[in-house]
Structure 1
């Protein structure tokens, strides 16, 4: 869509306008989707609303509406003391329960922040819909501090004629404070570093799975991928984070072209998207070179569109010069989804328990395992899949030549499904440490921790702690 407004339009906004037009958003009327049910009791909501309440006290006399949205653009909460702007926002349905995703409301601050996973400022006539020209919207995405998943956004909306120089900075600070508060109240896991857009070679001799005979679940997925790649199909390999999607894609290409050079392009941070694509795109279509583009469902919308155009311009070949990976095939951006011919799903490690021991032995190198340690590894559900197993084993291998239960991370012995607070995680870890010592028993653990046996049993049940061979 080419605007007739005489307004300077950055590239991100122009791309957003074009998407809004493709979605069929009316340019003269806001028609957001409404839902009467949404999750407003999550840790994200709890922490986000606490941050916004503190910010609202600071801005109580300013005509600024503070909002928290989920990842689909649904407004979860709204704080504002200015009745005039509240009544105005109600008229355009920028209120709890309504979705302001690009697909529903066209180009706007929170919709663009969610689409591109980047802080966004949209003011006056930069909005796609003329019904929003009276506002300035600044929004910043909130990412899960442990997994990097998109949780939602913090959005600040004011009148378009108001000063907006600090609005985006305030939104970014609120989003960062929300993630930090979630981290403080969460499990205490280290914050996941932001992706850096790395590109690196992947060789078959660096992939432990290539030298192992793994379960039928893995072999069936590998065979399916090999056949699809061999027929020249464009393949997307899907599965949970850490399950081995890139490894499987690389192995499938190695089967078809044993001497092929394989490049893996990891998803970039939003600000690095242009440089990321420019870095490796020239390798597409070169003889004996294949590219695995990882995590395409997590790409900013603008980067996904640029990627789709770059991949569509590559001449057809057998095998296709690239493979995509994604956690959720249903979340593939439109342009990329249209290129895909075959979807291959890699089952999670909890559905492949027979793979735990051979993978663990491979990750441990020359280290050995006790029978109890192997039983503990096989009994765990591995929510982080192969990536988590590799980290746990490598940490244990750094502690001992023979890996026993006491060398394994406490998380391996806990089946608790709820998110632990930092204090709960410390308490669980201490109980596990005492129960995994040689000759340990509940009575000895109670003495060491200064608790009664009844309390220890209650804590074991609360954290669902299971230690193979533990004496009663």
Structure 2
């Protein structure tokens, strides 16, 4: 014990000389540590004031996390009697997870920002058991004064690289940290053993997933003459036909849509229009390994572009592409194109999608563009259930023949049995008399299966409808947001000169909008109260817009989130000043930012 203390004193003296003169006698300093000091000094790391930088773009659901979790859980149980922390990072030294066996060590590590999201690269915080392991490519044991930063001196850490068994690439670092007085050389062998166990898990995981995806790809390719692609994780494969038929940007579009089909409910079959104007059909097969989807194999066929259909009510002939000039997203174009095709053909149309997704607005707007002299009449299920269909619809039908009309029934799935019977009679009459106008109904849910099993009243009417269209939620139509925001703002602000700043648009684009367009309208209404004219700034938007938390927050959490957003705005986005004003540690603030999904942007 005396020899260990004496050795640390010698290292501390050598470090002091190095910081003072730029060089020192390093016989008592391990070679990897001396080399790290030099790299840290050359990188401009300030030994007394440098801080770890926070990052939010972390992969918390990938292979590394999945394969490490059981090993870290076992290690935590085995070391429960020792006050230490187990840290997992990615290949950039960004901390993915931290588990501690004692709350005291967790509090101390918070103070030095050794917490999820922070970057412990050597170029940022100098010599340490994470960044130096990545720089040297070998397991290391860094104790006390061997750390370059002053505030890391109280700690000891043992780190080991985690390598992909097939490629040999370093995927991350496993680190065990504790106070220097609790340090033991056994930590070094313990962390290496655990890292090897994670590597074995990576090998099994990669082998099963990639092998399953590859085998499925080979099977489909062997019996298909057309374009075949396989997409899963970071793996993308395509046969020679796919490479010859589609340009790189077209391939990327197909890959991204295949990923969407892979996680969407229902059969992975769809038709999309590429940027070149090609219309392709994608037929996919999901590849499942255990409880997870490992990827998808798709067959892509080029279809002829549909010819524009004449508009029966007005005599105009408008193609979907001529109408959809302000729709950017692939899913938005697909839904709008399908609606246009159905309305121009006079088909009874069923439109599905999440509540607040703009289904009724989409129908009315497209009908107005197709039939400029036409009109849309909307009936809500609640009003119909209260007053009956005949009393509401009867008077309108008298004048319907004089002007082309589209009848829209909102929340079709909520009709009472009595109204459903009335609507059934109306649909039968309409099918016999084309001049009764167009018909479209909306259902605020993406999947009808549960209601079909439950035999709800409206399901008996589905045979009247010739086609259905699903309107994707706003979070899947990010490319359409600028146009949607412009239209919504124009309606809500009236003649006032109101716009949205670039900073506010970045906040809007990053928020998932679980309430869809209806929630976007409410958010812009609140912003207009704060800034009635001029460019809406990021801070004018409601506090929840600055968060992307996928979970429903409690009232207490929502209040805490609003306080944090307010503090950040008062501090002009400076996280350190915001943490001080809130009376919490900087690392605690960063964890809360991540938990609530709060992003800080410049306006």
CA distance, structure 1, for counterparts of residue 571 and residue 415 of structure 2: 48
Relative contact order: is structure 1 or structure 2 higher (C-alpha 8 Å, sep ≥ 6)?
A: 1
**In the alignment, is the contact (CA less than 8 A) between 1:212 and 1:358 conserved in 2?**
no
- Report the TM-score when normalising by structure 1: 0.50
1:372 maps to 503
CA distance, structure 2, for counterparts of residue 256 and residue 367 of structure 1: 29
Measured at CA, do residues 319 and 279 of structure 1 come closer, stay the same or move farther in structure 2, by a change above 3 Å?
A: closer
Measured at CA, do residues 390 and 218 of structure 1 come closer, stay the same or move farther in structure 2, by a change above 3 Å?
A: same
SS of the residue aligned with 1:368? Answer: strand
**In the alignment, is the contact (CA less than 8 A) between 1:234 and 1:320 conserved in 2?**
no
Measured at CA, do residues 336 and 320 of structure 1 come closer, stay the same or move farther in structure 2, by a change above 3 Å?
A: farther
After TM superposition, the runs of 4+ consecutive aligned structure 1 residues lying more than 6 A away are none
CA distance, structure 1, for counterparts of residue 338 and residue 597 of structure 2: 38
Please, which of 409, 414, 418 is the counterpart of residue 293 of structure 1? 409
Q: What does 1:37-436 align with in structure 2 at a 5 Å threshold?
A: 213-215=326-328, 216-268=330-382, 272-275=385-388, 277-284=390-397, 286-287=400-401, 288=403, 289-314=405-430, 315-317=432-434, 320-328=437-445, 330=448, 331=451, 333-365=458-490, 366-400=497-531, 401-436=534-569
How many pairs align? 260
**In the alignment, is the contact (CA less than 8 A) between 2:573 and 2:602 conserved in 1?**
no
- Report the TM-score when normalising by structure 2: 0.40
- Deviation, 1:256, is 4.1
Measured at CA, do residues 319 and 284 of structure 1 come closer, stay the same or move farther in structure 2, by a change above 3 Å?
A: closer
- Deviation, 1:392, is 0.9
SS of the residue aligned with 1:390? Answer: helix
CA distance, structure 2, for counterparts of residue 352 and residue 368 of structure 1: 21
- 1:123-169 per-residue CA deviation (whole Å, 9 max, x = no partner) reads xxxxxxxxxxxxxxxxxxxxxxxxxxxxxxxxxxxxxxxxxxxxxxx
- Deviation, 1:357, is 1.6
CA distance, structure 2, for counterparts of residue 281 and residue 325 of structure 1: 21
CA distance, structure 2, for counterparts of residue 453 and residue 256 of structure 1: 56
- 1:320-345 per-residue CA deviation (whole Å, 9 max, x = no partner) reads 53211112362472232111111012
- 1:252-311 per-residue CA deviation (whole Å, 9 max, x = no partner) reads 3334432122211112168x5344652234434821232111110122333323322333
Structure 1, unmatched stretches of 5+, are: 1-209
CA distance, structure 2, for counterparts of residue 228 and residue 211 of structure 1: 15
Measured at CA, do residues 364 and 229 of structure 1 come closer, stay the same or move farther in structure 2, by a change above 3 Å?
A: closer
Larger strand proportion, structure 1 or 2? 2
CA distance, structure 1, for counterparts of residue 460 and residue 417 of structure 2: 10
Give the root-mean-square deviation of aligned CA atoms. 2.6
**In the alignment, is the contact (CA less than 8 A) between 2:389 and 2:419 conserved in 1?**
no
- Deviation, 1:388, is 1.4
- Deviation, 1:397, is 2.2
Measured at CA, do residues 339 and 359 of structure 1 come closer, stay the same or move farther in structure 2, by a change above 3 Å?
A: same
CA distance, structure 1, for counterparts of residue 541 and residue 338 of structure 2: 35
Moved more, 413-422 or 424-433: 413-422
In our comparison, the structure showing a higher alpha carbon Rg is 2
- 1:420-444 per-residue CA deviation (whole Å, 9 max, x = no partner) reads 1111111111111211336232222
